[in-house]
Structure 1
Amino acid sequence: MDDAAPNIAGKASRRWVWLGGVLSACLVSAIVLQLGGAGGEVLKTVRQLPNAVWPVLLLLYLTQTLFDYAIFRRLWTLPLTGLVALLRKNVINEAVLGYSGEAFLYVWARRAAGVAAAPFAAIKDVNIISALLGNLLTLALTAISATQLRELDFAQRLGPALWSGLVPVAISVGLLVFGRRVFSLRPRELVYVAAVCGLRLTVWAGLTVLVWRLALPEVAAGQWVVLLAIRLLVSRIPLISNKDLVFGNLMLLLLGGNSTVAVLLAALAVMTLGLHLLVIVGLGAVDLVRGLSREPRALALAEASRD
């Protein structure tokens, strides 16, 4: 694999992540303002989380990356080092703007020798199938939770943003009709991608509810299903960054800053942002070390060529 490709792609990813930094800071500030005097409850909630929450939360954080690797390993014969690019891709999607990570992955795949000759088709098809299955799960959980959502006055509070989330749902219906003209992968590959994406959604939903249940076991399971439906509805809203923070803010708005459930979800959103920052700093440090280690070698080669 070309050493320059990860380095160039890494520089691009850092620029995009910085763009999302301001947006993330604004969302965290909004959470702090909505909590008001209860801001200290977030830190208290984090400190009091059961130990069992932490490994499950970490696995939940890595779920998207691991399943992405299973998909692109099959489509591109992706080496294990590709996990870093996929992790960056998902951080960019969450911290900057939805689907901006796919643009990064495309650039990385084009520059990384031996990964994919035409990466756009695979990235496009994987995202279409993932969005389609996500929309179907969202519709199913929304139908199941319709009564509770009405009691929360969810539609009126979310306003126009909720209607914008219907756009990708309508697109998914169109894809079912015109699928043969849209998809580029072979049918066998499409079936594999759909199976992995479906399993990923199942694992993600299960781990999400498990984290919530481990943190607040006294809350009825039915309430978590309603909140999962809201989380999925938020994820359908196009062109927003850091959907966990948006979800945390929305829960504070719906349930109030004194609600233990809302405080927990806000705390988990801030913790997820912290994980994003750790990944950004960690991968940036790795890039720096690699760059410093390559400089002496480049200078030696340059001197050798002059001789």
Structure 2
Amino acid sequence: MSGVAQGLGEPQAAAATKGPRRLGLWLGVALSVGLVAIVMLQLGGTTVDIFKTLQRLPPLAWLGVLLLYLVQPAFDFLVFRRLWNLPPAGFRALLRKNVINEVVLGYSGEAYLYVWARRAANVVANPFAAIKDANIVSALAGNLLTLVLAAISITELRNLDFAQRLGPALWSGLIPLAISLGVLVFGRQVFSLGRRQLLYVAGVSALRLIAWTALTLWVWRLALPEVAMAQWTVLLAIRCLVSRIPLISNKDLVFGNLMLLLLGAHSDVAVLLATLAFITLGLHLAVTIGLAVGDLARGRLWSGS
């Protein structure tokens, strides 16, 4: 077993980063609360519709939401299990990474994972290389999916005045696309992992996107079966475009708020997407509390594990 497994059972001092991590988490929570307030203002008197939508969600939709939430950390685990021989206990760190990415700031979770790996796995000589390459490959796959969905939905996106409504934020999404092109051109200088490892990460990333796409459409269709699949495909394209915007937190809430602007607060689709965003935020909260309670039980709160 590698140093990751060995390090998981060792208490680590976290005094140097405890303050910044707590500050970042609270800032992220404040941003999320702000997004919730914006969504509530958009909904206005129809806020009660969210609670009605929650009650109407079929049990399979709840299962789908849970599985959808676990897609990212589960496939991350497959990647780092191969690269680091990560034991099952390391799944906690990947759950926390996912929450930090979504609630605090995009890619801040990767910074957390790097610090965690350095502390829990002294034998891993260069955890940065694996994290960097895995994220680059994942971003390339995500950009490809976004371009494909945008191309399929280009006419409907124009009809929604999507580019004009989203404004400069949409153009910032071109940054990761430009970086992707640079990676393809200078790949040998960018990547640190071997070809087999990169192919494995690419395969896992592709499977993750397939699972995410299928589960997302499944949940949406279960909740509102009367909506045509073509409309869901357009909304999925918009969700992917929003996910390409760098350095924003809680993209599900951003997406939900955007749908309220585009479709109106009385749209069943917009209310559903806002509802699902609230459920996701609740899962983030539940995971954060659960991990903190677990750390307290082991006497290792904010220990980086």
TM-score (normalizing by structure 2): 0.93
Q: What's the counterpart of residue 4 of structure 1?
A: 11
Q: Which moved more, 1:283-292 or 1:150-159?
A: 283-292
User: What code does the residue aligned with 1:4 have?
Assistant: P
Q: What aligned pairs does 1:106-185 form with structure 2 within 5 A after superposition?
A: 106-113=114-121, 116-185=124-193
258, 269, 272: which one aligns with 1:250? 258
**Alpha-carbon shift at residue 8 of structure 1 (Å):** 6.8
Q: What's the counterpart of residue 27 of structure 1?
A: 35
Query: Which is higher, the Rg of structure 1 or of structure 2?
Result: 1
**Alpha-carbon shift at residue 154 of structure 1 (Å):** 0.2
User: Does the C-alpha gap of structure 1 residues 278 and 8 become closer, same or farther in structure 2, counting only changes over 3 Å?
Assistant: farther
Contact 2:153 2:237 in 1 (8 A): yes
Q: Does 1:199 align with 2:207?
A: yes
**Alpha-carbon shift at residue 16 of structure 1 (Å):** 2.9
Q: What's the counterpart of residue 110 of structure 2?
A: 102
- Once the two structures are superposed, residues 27-64 of structure 1 have per-residue CA deviations (whole angstroms, 9 ceiling, x without a partner) of 00000000010011011101110111111110100000
Contact 1:69 1:83 in 2 (8 A): yes
Q: Secondary structure at the match of 2:86?
A: coil
Q: Secondary structure at the match of 2:298?
A: helix
Query: 4+ runs of 1 displaced by more than 6 Å?
Result: 6-10
Contact 1:85 1:108 in 2 (8 A): yes
Equivalent-residue separation in structure 2 for 1:89 and 1:292 (angstroms)? 17
Q: What's the counterpart of residue 233 of structure 1?
A: 241
- Once the two structures are superposed, residues 224-246 of structure 1 have per-residue CA deviations (whole angstroms, 9 ceiling, x without a partner) of 00000000000000010000000
16, 36, 39: which one aligns with 2:24? 16
User: Does the C-alpha gap of structure 1 residues 103 and 52 become closer, same or farther in structure 2, counting only changes over 3 Å?
Assistant: same
RMSD between aligned residues: 1.7
Equivalent-residue separation in structure 1 for 2:99 and 2:67 (angstroms)? 15
**Alpha-carbon shift at residue 117 of structure 1 (Å):** 2.1
Equivalent-residue separation in structure 2 for 1:82 and 1:115 (angstroms)? 15
- Once the two structures are superposed, residues 254-290 of structure 1 have per-residue CA deviations (whole angstroms, 9 ceiling, x without a partner) of 0000000000000000110000000011111111111
Q: What's the counterpart of residue 303 of structure 1?
A: none
Structure 1 unaligned residues grouped into runs of 5+: 294-307
Q: Does 1:210 align with 2:218?
A: yes
Equivalent-residue separation in structure 1 for 2:33 and 2:216 (angstroms)? 24
Q: Secondary structure at the match of 1:98?
A: coil
Contact 1:9 1:107 in 2 (8 A): no
Q: Does 1:38 align with 2:46?
A: yes
Structure 2 unaligned residues grouped into runs of 5+: 1-5
Q: Secondary structure at the match of 2:59?
A: coil
User: Does the C-alpha gap of structure 1 residues 127 and 8 become closer, same or farther in structure 2, counting only changes over 3 Å?
Assistant: farther
User: Does the C-alpha gap of structure 1 residues 115 and 261 become closer, same or farther in structure 2, counting only changes over 3 Å?
Assistant: farther
Contact 1:77 1:115 in 2 (8 A): no
Equivalent-residue separation in structure 1 for 2:25 and 2:258 (angstroms)? 23
User: What code does the residue aligned with 1:77 have?
Assistant: N
**Alpha-carbon shift at residue 219 of structure 1 (Å):** 0.3
Contact 2:99 2:109 in 1 (8 A): yes
Q: What's the counterpart of residue 267 of structure 1?
A: 275
User: What code does the residue aligned with 2:11 have?
Assistant: A
**Alpha-carbon shift at residue 174 of structure 1 (Å):** 1.1
**Alpha-carbon shift at residue 113 of structure 1 (Å):** 3.2
The share of aligned pairs that are identical, in percent, is 67
